[in-house]
Amino acid sequence: MLIKRYHCALILSVLTLMVSGCVDKKQNDDASSAFGQPIDPSQQNMLGGLQQYLSQIQKQGNAGDQMAQRRMGDILIASGEKAQGLGWIKSSAISGNVDSQLQLADMYANGVDMMPNYDEAFIWYKKAAEQGNARAQGEVASAYLNGKGVEFNLEQSIYWDSLAAKQGIANSQNNLGAAYTHGEGVPQDPEQAVYWYTKAANQGVTEAQFNLAGSYYLGQGVAKDDQQAYAWYATVAKYGDSDIAGTAKMVMEKLTPTLSKAGKLASSKSLAQQYISMYSPTRKNLVFTEY
């Protein structure tokens, strides 16, 4: 994006001019300054080129161009004009731009110069989710589960989590695994639970790693395997919050004599180090916001 080529102070100066209506709106026929194309600093004054670029974005946004509307919104928000930026993002979202719908939902969920509005956030997450956006699908599932912006509905939560999980949303994968474990909203199916726990655990979700470790430890949905249980519990002990990390350490202590007696403790510790290295929380894929 051209705007990133210029110093922030210049952007703010030009935006101030634009908001006050002082920027020349005249169309430039030069192809080098067309929307989305970089302006050669050797041919034009840098500030003049930026003014022209912003003016052209505004003109195209007023004409209904979704991407121009979104870019104008981003520029205004970055300059501190959040209310005006929200208006441009909303115009793009209304036109059907899925990225703008997701961005607008985030703005309502987190609050942009306003109190969070979960009802509006849900509306726009739902629109983006219906267009197939994976993170939005996870957000809709979370909203139904927590009753934020919409009434609690377990079946709808699982429906949207299943769509998001298939697209790789890690928290949705863990949620779906838990649903299959407990038979909540879906038939109880320990094997399906392990399938989804594994996918989420591989992306670094410590809750899923804890659930998967328990599955191996108890032999639920998968053959009992103390080495796998030890390795996953060690990963949780490293990365999990205090509650599940403490529990993981206790189970590891309980497993240690059994593994030692079987001559498998050293290999279990080696496997644990591999998992700690491979499956850290930084591997999370599009984990949705729990607002």
Both structure tokens of 258: 């059994």
For the cut 70, the answer to whether the pLDDT of residue 291 exceeds it is no
Q: What percent of the chain has pLDDT over 90?
A: 63
Closest CA to 198 of 188, 180, 212: 212
Q: Give 102's pLDDT tier (boundaries 50, 70, 90).
A: very high
CA distance 30 to 13: 24
* φ, ψ (nearest 5 deg) of residue 111: 85, 120
Both structure tokens of 278: 């491979």
Contacts 24+ apart (CB under 8 A), 145-148: 145/175, 146/290, 148/118, 148/121, 148/122, 148/291
For residue range 191-202, list pLDDT tens digits in order: 999 999 999 999
CA distance 12 to 59: 19
Query: Residue written as tokens 């005249």?
Result: 26
CA distance 41 to 9: 17
> Taking the mean position of all CA atoms in its chain, how far away is CA 43?
41
Q: Give 40's pLDDT tier (boundaries 50, 70, 90).
A: low
Please state, rounded to an integer, the average pLDDT across all residues of the chain: 84
For the cut 80, the answer to whether the pLDDT of residue 4 exceeds it is no
CA distance 32 to 45: 13
Contact 106, 139 (CB under 8 A): no
The radius of gyration of the chain's CA atoms, rounded to the nearest angstrom, is: 25
CA distance 157 to 173: 12
For residue range 201-258, list pLDDT tens digits in order: 999 999 999 999 999 999 999 999 999 999 999 999 999 999 999 999 999 999 999 9
Report the run of H or E that residue 249 belongs to, with start and end. Answer: helix 242-261
What confidence score (pLDDT) does residue 289 get?
Answer: 43
Contact 288, 251 (CB under 8 A): no
Tally of residues, the chain = 291
Query: Residue written as tokens 């441009």?
Result: 88
What confidence score (pLDDT) does residue 113 get?
Answer: 66
Q: CA distances (Å), 204 to each of 6, 192, 199, 257, in order?
A: 38, 19, 9, 28
Q: Which residue has the higher pLDDT, 206 or 70?
A: 206
225: Cβ contacts below 8 Å, ≥ 6 apart = 216, 219
DSSP state of 106: H
What confidence score (pLDDT) does residue 46 get?
Answer: 59
76: Cβ contacts below 8 Å, ≥ 6 apart = 15, 82, 84, 85, 88
Report the run of H or E that residue 160 belongs to, with start and end. Answer: helix 154-166
For residue range 118-151, list pLDDT tens digits in order: 999 999 999 999 999 999 999 999 999 999 999 9
DSSP string, 271-282: HHHHHHHHS-GG
